[in-house]
Amino acid sequence: MNQTGLIPGVTIKVDDQGSDELARIAKIFNIMADSLDDAYSNLEHRTERSGNNLRIRTDITRIENRPNIIN
Ordered per-residue pLDDT tens for the chain, 71 residues: 444 445 666 667 888 999 999 999 999 999 998 888 888 888 888 888 888 888 888 888 888 888 776 65
Give the residue from 45, 41, 49 showing the smallest Cα distance to 10. Answer: 41
CA distance 3 to 45: 25
Kindly list the domain boundaries of the chain, sorted by start residue: 1-64
Residue 26 CB coordination number (10 Å): 18
**pTM of the predicted structure, to 2 decimals:** 0.56
Length of the chain in residues, anyone? Answer: 71
